[in-house]
A and B are shown apart, each in its own frame.
Chain A
Amino acid sequence: MLTFTIRRLALAVPTLVFIALVIFLLLELAPGDPMAQVPLTVPPEVKEKMRLALGLGEPMHVRFWKWIVQFYWIEPQVLIDHIFGTQFAEGKLRMISWQTRSPVMDIVAQRIPQTLWVVGTAYVVGILIAIPIGIYSAYRQYSWFDQLGTFVSMVGFSVPPFFSGVLVIVIFSVNLGWFPSIYDTTLQVVDWDSFVRQLQQMIMPVMVLALQITAQISRFMRSSMLDNLNQDYVRTARAKGLGEYTVVMLHVLRNSMIPVVTVIALGVPAIFGGAIITEQVFKVNGIGHLLIGAIQANDLPMVQTLAFIFAILIVLFNLIADVLYGILDPRIRYD
């Protein structure tokens, strides 16, 4: 198992380098010009200097190498400095956003907590709702509850977040006036009142995201339970006189959770990606919102870094899912 994990870790490095190259080349070979917004009255030699100041003067492979070094070498040093108060990254050149002229990673670090709060809560809520639904729909297959569950998850698959988000805004904030339609990121939770307000503004985005997550995971849970309910060991457990609760909740559920846990791990990065739209609808000031803003402002270092962070998340959670699968299921040991 350990060798497998190490091998997968070693394989993740070239994957990440390849993805970094794809993102870099996509931005590089694209015909857009970062100087296109500069007024025509600016003379060409000044434009050339501005280009150099943005770090665009050097050949392509040098810039790719610099970006990789900044991402993998300098930024971790900054993080270590920040945690332990050391001076490793003193005077080193960091990735600078063209839009704000401040280090890209600082802005990302400011935005991540909002995303984690909203998306993380939604993920936990979604999973907590989905698992019981999946168990019961499988146990009573083709009952009215199962049919309803199928329909609800189909709706969850089909209604895009930019519609369900707008719909809950119309219902709960325009018509009923219960919750604010815009997420206020400046709100500090200090006492009970502000905690209630924080809850109120989180309910709608969490609802929208949780619907999608519940739809997916309850389907997986159901089919995984169905696979296991017909196995021989279930019959054996029933035959030796175990109660129905013990059979389903201990024997079947444990085995059914194996694929579901990996699906949950695989879904984490997709949630970050999918949350881009939800963050946009509710004006949550997270990293998805940051990406859209950077794309609209043509801020290439920011776009590059954010896209790469999403890629790292995907690779990381793929790895976690693989390792989890091996740990949970002794039949699958990759050695």
Chain B
Amino acid sequence: MTEPRHDPVKDPIDTVAAIVAHDHTTPLGGDAQPDRPPRSQWLDVWDQFKSHKGALCGGIIFILIVAGVFLGPLFWSIDPTHIDIRARNQGPSLTHPFGTDQLGRDIMARMMAGGQTSVSVGIAAMALALFLGSFVGVVAGFFRRMDGLLMRMTDLFLALPLLPLLLVMMLLFREPLNAAFGPEQGIFILIVCAIGITSWMPTARIVRGDVLALKEREFVLAARSIGTTNSKMITRHILPNVLSPIMVSATLGIANAIITESALSFLGLGFPPDFPTWGRLLFDGTDYLQQYPERVIWPGVAISLTVLSVNYLGDGLRDALDPRIRGR
């Protein structure tokens, strides 16, 4: 490892030195106290995260989008379903900053309402996939007897054609769930479950690999020797240590879920037509592509920007949570 051109700091001792040096050059970096040598892991992580410009921008943009979408309607009080047929197909103006659609509905209000749905679907589906993935991964890694069975199941799920299956699920389960929970709630549950069930596999594989490595470490042996039970072992020793791959999977999961939901809506198999989501707005906008291309651009930019910011966030988190390259 004496190739300094590609990797200026590779040695762990150098890494520590770099962190310390970094702290002394920025004595008043808010939370960085140079006079206090023992630093918590999360401070290191935060320092590394801050130095990744893209990740920081991504995080800020994602928070802004989420805030704008959920808090925006408090300030922008036009009802997204209010039809004003005399004000239809208007361009951008002060009363309607993004213009109005073919029924005179305010596009800015619809974008906010659509964003609420898209972001909620993304977060809920990510949470479900993360729960399933971590559960399968921890169980498979921790209990040797379950390993073969669960990993074969993961392989089988990875071999399923996901987008076609999602489309088929949409087709088949839409009506009964609509009848049971109402059109909006039903389709929300359906989309979240469908995306969650079809996207937990990568998380499970990564978590299993990490758990397998952790299980051989001395601290697990020590905990075992003082009689820690399996459930305590998992919750106190294993889970906190596999948190970083889970967090990275979480960001990528949000991005994946938002894109999948928009794709389903775009193919006409997502939310009902009068219920705006970003994908649905984009799909509706394609009919007016020739005359009003901006109607496609707004939701498209919103989806892309959200996913881009989340991806950068995940990239930065991965770097920040990896102790081998932290402080580089």
Apart from the given pairs A162-B279, A167-B297, 8 other A-B contacts in the complex at a CB distance below 8 Å: A27-B172, A157-B311, A158-B255, A159-B308, A269-B161, A276-B167, A292-B267, A307-B168
Given A32-B172, A273-B163, do A295 and B269 touch, yes or no (CB 8 Å)?
yes
A261 on interface, CB distance cutoff 8 Å: no
B2-10, B40-48, B98-106, B203-211: which lies at the A interface? B2-10
Contacts of B311 in A (CB 8 A): 154, 157-158
What's the minimum C-beta distance from B308 to chain A, rounded to whole angstroms? 4
Asked whether A229 is an interface residue with its Cβ less than 8 Å from the other chain, the reply is yes
A311: CB under 8 A from chain B? yes
Q: Is the interface of B mostly helix, strand, loop or mixed?
A: helix
| A243 interfacial by beta-carbon distance below 8 Å | no
Mask: chain B, 134-176; 1 = CB below 8 Å from A; 0 = not = 0000000000000000000001101111111101110111011
Q: A32-B171, A141-B6, A229-B3 are in contact. Are A159 and B159 (CB under 8 A)?
A: no
A157-180: which have CB < 8 Å to B?
157-160, 162-163, 166-167, 169-170, 174
Q: Is the CB of B160 within 8 A of A19?
A: yes
Give the B-binding residues of A (Cβ under 8 A): 15, 18-19, 22-23, 26-27, 30-32, 141, 154-155, 157-160, 162-163, 166-167, 169-170, 174, 226, 229-230, 234-235, 269, 273-274, 276-277, 280, 291-292, 295-296, 298, 303, 306-307, 310-311, 313-315, 318
24 A-B pairs in the complex with CB atoms less than 8 angstroms apart? A19-B159, A23-B165, A23-B168, A26-B169, A31-B173, A141-B6, A155-B304, A157-B308, A157-B311, A158-B307, A162-B279, A163-B296, A174-B289, A174-B293, A229-B3, A230-B1, A230-B7, A276-B167, A277-B266, A280-B267, A303-B168, A307-B161, A307-B168, A311-B159
CB-nearest residue of chain A to B258? A160
A274 in contact with B172 given A19-B156, A154-B311, A169-B289 (CB within 8 Å) = no
Q: How far is the CA of A270 from the CA of B7 in the complex (A)?
A: 34
Q: Are B290 and A160 in contact (CB under 8 A)?
A: no
Which listed residue, B1, B167, B169, touches A292 by the CB 8 Å rule? B167
Query: Are the CB atoms of A30 and B173 closer together than 8 Å?
Result: yes
State the Cβ distance, B294 to closest chain A Cβ, in Å. 9
Distance, CA A155 to CA B54, complexed state (A): 13
Q: Is there an interface contact between B3 and A31, defined as CB atoms closer than 8 Å?
A: no
Pairwise interchain contact B304-A159, C-beta atoms closer than 8 A: yes
Which partner residue on chain B sits nearest A169 by CB separation? Answer: B289
Q: Name the B residues within 8 Å of A230 (CB-CB).
A: 1, 3, 6-7, 10
Q: Which residues of A contact B296 (CB under 8 A)?
A: 163, 166-167, 170
Selected contact of A274 from candidates B10, B163, B165, CB within 8 Å: B163
Which positions 169-185 of chain B face chain A at CB distance < 8 Å? 169, 171-173, 175-176
Chain A positions within 8 Å of B160 at CB level? 19, 22, 311, 314
Q: For the complex, what is the distance from the CA of A231 to the CA of B279, rounded to whole Å? A: 46
In the complex, what residues of B have CB within 8 A of residue A315's CB? 159
Q: A163-B300, A314-B159, A315-B159 are in contact. Are A154 and B262 (CB under 8 A)?
A: no
Question: Are A18 and B156 neighbours in the complex by a CB distance under 8 Å?
Answer: yes
A235 touches B307 (CB 8 A): no
Instruction: Give the docked Cα–Cα distance between A197 and B142 (Å).
Output: 59
